[in-house]
Structure formats: C-alpha cells, structure tokens
C-alpha cells in the first residue's frame, strides 16, 4: 500500500485505469510492473508538504549528521525515499509497525540523533499516541513526528485512515510541540526550525497536494509558537491552521469583496499557543471564526475558546471544523464542500456568524 495510497484520497480517476486493468483478466505481471511504486506519476513536486520532507531533510542532512529518517512502509507515498536515496545509512524503513517505529526513534534520539518519523497521521497520532507521550514527550527526546494525510484528506479510504482527533490528543500532551504546515515552503521552515528546537514535536501535514500560500522560499520570519497575521482586517478574524489556510484566505478575499474586512491568522503552532494573537483578534475585530480540518472538539477552535474564556474576553465566536461525527466517505474535494471547509463554505459560515 504505497503509491495507490498517495493517490487514493485524490481524484476519482487516480486509480481508475489501473483498477480496470487489474479487473480485466488480461493484466499480467507487465501491468503490475507499470505500477512501479518508485515513480511519482501525477504527484506535483513543489507544493506538496508531505512530499518535500524527504528532499528537505536530505539537504539538511548534508551538514547535520544528527538527522535520521524513519517510515512505516510509506517511503514512496511520503517521498522519504528522497532522503533514503541520498543517505541510505541514515534511513530506516520499519515496516508496518508504527508503535515500534516511534519507540525506536526515541531510542535513536537518546544518543543525540534527531529522528524524523513519517507516516499517516492516523497511525502515528492515534495508534502511536502512547509511544509519543511516554517515550518522546515525557523523556524530552527530540523526535519529530510527521503525520501526513491528516484530517479527512484520505477521502474515500474512510474513517480508519482519517485523522480528525490528532490535534486534540497531541495538544494535551505535556512537553510536546504541535505544529501544522500549510504548504511545502512552510514545512521547509518548520523542518529547519526543528533542528534547534528542544523536545519532541508533532508536525501535522496535509495530503501532499496543498496549494502554495507562502511563496517559493521558506518564510524567513517563521518562528515556532508565533502566529502569522497574513491579512489585516477590522470586522472579523479567521484563525486557521495547516490545510485550511489556503481556503480561509480565499474566503477572506470573497468577504473583502463584499466589504467585510477580514483578518486572517495562521496559527501554525497549536502548542505552545500564541494566546496574544488570539486575544488581539477578539479585542480588535470583535468576531473570531476558527477554521480547521479536525473534529470540532479539542483542536484549534477549542484552544482559542479556552484562551478567550480564561481572559474573560467576549466576542462573536464560532468554531468551524468537522462536526462530531465519523465523516462521510468521498473524494476529498467533495468532503470539503460538504462540510463547508472550502472557500465558499468558510465564507458562508463567516456570514452566518456576522449576520451579514
């Protein structure tokens, strides 16, 4: 389950031709050989957060001997193969055994190495939750967990492959830094920052097709724990993170066109949380909409609500995310539309909040 998994959450046609080939009764070994998992067919290379990690880490590893990379039978899907090809002695494919992989990474880290562990968010954050807590966070080990294909980005693979709880779980773990990448360039910035960051990190990534927000180069002013105010606005603040940043910016554009001045904050770091930026949003714009590809319980919206409530700051407020249900299955784009997590949906929710 490698290449087809990377494709599976995508468009309906992604696996169609191959599947029909397999079912035709005529497909022999040659047809299977065409499915060489080391190819990158159809996967864009520059705007794909999950898929630049291997490349970026390989570059960083040229000068930093502490970097090692592990994955669980997804080296092709997450392109950690790009690291493996350049640093084969510092790459470990641990097979389909995520809990062992995380604890092994902790053991590696105890000797001074910096392990990057990459696999589906559902299997590191949910299956491997206790290993992250006990072996990485509690011990202060600099393990970097890359949870890719988070949220519902694996579409019609269904709930087993979705990760709509990971932020809630991860942000309740002490001594764990939790950060979401919105695009490839921001991920590069996160990875560079991670080299000097103390303790364990959970880095939440999208499906590897996220549209670019931050331009070609890693944002130079990126600071873990410091939110980025991308748009100024006076009537409303959208606080969002990771995969929902691009759609939120598009929604803000549409709102602005309708004379609703909308601030957009990229709360890339969920823990430690930039409470000041959340409070400023409430005080200065009087309305806050949080947007996340996560269960409405326990994630970004909950974090903002806690900050506002603790400070006694009231404003128009709405948490927008996935309702507390196991989501429908379908192609990701259809899911985002259905759950109003595309630009039009976010715009509509914002208008409901403001009554405009």
Partner 1 sequence: MTTTDTRHPAVGTAERQELLERLADRAKFVRMETVRLTEIPGAGHYTGTFSVAEIFAALYYAQLGYRPDDPDWADRDRLVLSKGHAAIGLYPVLADVGFFDASLLDDYTRLGSAFGDHPDMRKIKGIDFSSGSLGHGLSISTGMALAGRVSGRDYRAYCITGDGELEEGQVWEAIMAAGHFRLGSLVAIVDRNQLSIDGATEDLMGIEPLVEKFTSFRWKVQRVDGHDLSALLDAFDALDPPGEGPPQVIIADTIKGRGVQRMEGDIRWHVGRLVGADYDDVMAELSRGLQPLATGGGRD
- Interface with partner 1 by CB under 8 A: which residues? 68, 89-90, 92, 94-95, 97, 99-100, 102-113, 115, 130-131, 134-135, 138-140
CB neighbour list of residue 75: distance below 8 Å, 6 or more residues apart: 2, 54, 81, 84, 91, 93
Taking each continuous run of H as one helix and of E as one strand, the counts in the chain are: 15, 12
We find the least distance from the C-beta atom of residue 100 to partner 1, in angstroms, to be: 4
Find out whether 76 and 105 touch, Cβ atoms under 8 Å: no
Q: Which is nearer to partner 1, 135 or 166 (CB)?
A: 135
Q: Which is nearer to partner 1, 10 or 115 (CB)?
A: 115
Q: Which is nearer to partner 1, 3 or 135 (CB)?
A: 135
> In terms of C-beta density within 10 A (0-12 exposed, 13-18 middle, 19 or more buried), how is residue 139 classed?
middle
DSSP for 68-115?
Answer: EEEESS-TTTS-THHHHHH-GGGEEE--S-HHHHHHHHHHHHTTT-EE
We find the least distance from the C-beta atom of residue 69 to partner 1, in angstroms, to be: 11
Find out whether 247 and 336 touch, Cβ atoms under 8 Å: yes
We find the least distance from the C-beta atom of residue 62 to partner 1, in angstroms, to be: 16
We find the least distance from the C-beta atom of residue 90 to partner 1, in angstroms, to be: 6
List, in sequence order, every residue forming a beta bridge with 237; answer none if it has no partner: 263, 288
Q: Which is nearer to partner 1, 134 or 159 (CB)?
A: 134
We find the least distance from the C-beta atom of residue 148 to partner 1, in angstroms, to be: 21
Q: Which is nearer to partner 1, 107 or 323 (CB)?
A: 107
* Neighbour count for residue 174 (Cβ, 10 Å): 9
């Amino acid at each position: 389950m490698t290449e087809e998994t990377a494709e599976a959450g995508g468009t309906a046609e992604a696996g169609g031709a191959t599947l029909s080939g397999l079912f035709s009764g005529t497909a022999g070994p040659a047809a299977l050989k065409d499915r060489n998992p080391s190819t990158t067919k159809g996967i864009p290379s520059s705007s794909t957060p999950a898929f630049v990690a291997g490349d970026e880490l390989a570059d960083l590893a040229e000068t930093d001997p502490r970097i090692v990379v592990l994955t669980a039978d997804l080296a092709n899907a997450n392109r950690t193969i790009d690291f493996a090809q350049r640093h084969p002695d510092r790459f470990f494919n641990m097979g389909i055994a995520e809990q062992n992989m995380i604890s092994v990474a902790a053991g590696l880290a105890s000797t001074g190495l910096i392990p990057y562990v990459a696999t589906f968010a559902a299997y590191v954050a949910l299956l491997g939750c206790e290993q992250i807590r006990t072996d990485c966070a509690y011990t202060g080990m600099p393990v970097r967990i890359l949870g890719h294909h988070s949220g519902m980005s694996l579409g019609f693979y269904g709930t087993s492959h979705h990760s709509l709880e990971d932020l809630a779980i991860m942000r309740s773990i002490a001594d764990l830094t939790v950060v979401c990448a919105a695009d490839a360039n921001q991920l590069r910035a996160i990875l560079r920052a991670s080299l000097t960051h103390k303790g364990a990190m959970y880095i939440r990534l999208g499906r590897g097709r996220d549209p670019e927000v931050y331009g070609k180069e890693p944002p130079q002013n990126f600071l873990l724990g410091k939110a980025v105010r991308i748009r100024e606005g006076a009537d409303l603040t959208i606080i969002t993170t990771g995969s929902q940043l691009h759609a939120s910016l598009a929604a803000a554009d549409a709102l602005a066109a309708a004379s609703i001045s909308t601030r957009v904050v990229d709360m890339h770091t969920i823990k430690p949380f930039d409470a000041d930026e959340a409070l400023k949003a409430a005080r200065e714009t009087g309305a806050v909409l949080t947007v996340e590809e996560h269960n409405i319980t326990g994630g970004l919206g909950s974090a903002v609500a806690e900050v506002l409530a603790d400070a006694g700051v009231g404003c128009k407020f709405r948490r927008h995310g996935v309702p507390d249900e196991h989501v429908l299955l379908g192609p990701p784009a259809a899911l985002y539309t259905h759950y109003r997590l595309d630009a039009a949906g976010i715009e509509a929710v914002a208008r409901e909040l403001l009554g405009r």
